[in-house]
Amino acid sequence: MTHVIYVHGLWMPGDESLILRHRLGQEFDLALHSFRYSAAYSTMSSITARLDEYVREKQSSEVHLVGHSLGGLIIHRFLERFPDQPSGRAVFLGTPCVASKAAQQAGRFTPVAHFMGQSVAEELLQPRARRWTHDRALGIIAGTQPIGVGQLLANFDEDNDGTVAVSETRMPGMSDHIALPVSHLGMLMSARVAHETGLFLTEGRFSPR
């Protein structure tokens, strides 16, 4: 089986990928492994260094990467710092690639900002001009079901998944993008999201729209 490294989002344990792991294994013969980190107590530098070690431990010539929310930004920074990686593709699920209005609003509250940690402050609390320039193809899945506390914080006036707006997920340089009727957390339980993720990882495309 081909290895897939899953990088979770803020305040998530990695175990939320269980259903996604099962579906990718059953339908696409992909073996998903969850990489765990603590955003509150780690820097982006230390997280990406540990991720590099984790990927190398697989000793595989092909490794795909899947990031949910903040996990996508960690993958982006990881490939910037450690570009010499096995071949493969990447999929971001609800990742705020260019901005995070909800995080910026939440960051105004000192206790919340503290528990976000330095890695989040570095990536989410200010808009950034990111661009995907890595060799591997990137597919991005956004959600349009506005269920989540981010909806209250950000007061979105556009399609969003309850935490991240669809426009915030579009990273220049990506290979493909699809918006599906799922929420920010619900996308991890969605059969359609799992299918589209597996399709992109194995074929480099999402379903025709």
Tens digit of each residue's pLDDT (9 = 90 or more) over 70-93:
999 999 999 999 999 999 999 999
- At 135, list the tokens: 């060799």
Q: How do strand 2-7 and strand 63-68 relate by DSSP bridges? A: parallel
Instruction: Report whether pLDDT(109) > 50.
Output: no
Average pLDDT over residues 127-154: 85
Q: How confident is the model at residue 104 (pLDDT cuts 50, 70, 90)?
A: low
Tokens 């999201």 locate to 193
Q: Which of 203, 198, 140 is nearest to 172 (CA)?
A: 140
Tens digit of each residue's pLDDT (9 = 90 or more) over 152-178:
565 788 899 999 999 999 999 999 999
From residue 29, how far is each of 44, 64, 202 by CA, in Å? 31, 13, 10
Q: How do strand 176-180 and strand 90-93 relate by DSSP bridges? A: unpaired
Mean pLDDT computed over every residue of the chain: 89
d(CA 204, CA 209): 15
Domains observed in the chain: 2-203 (3.40.50.1820)
What local confidence, expressed as pLDDT, does residue 40 receive?
Answer: 74
What local confidence, expressed as pLDDT, does residue 112 receive?
Answer: 53
pTM: 0.91
Q: Which of 174, 74, 173, 161 is nearest to 124 (CA)?
A: 74
Instruction: Report whether pLDDT(11) > 80.
Output: no
Do 136 and 87 form a contact (C-beta atoms < 8 A)? yes
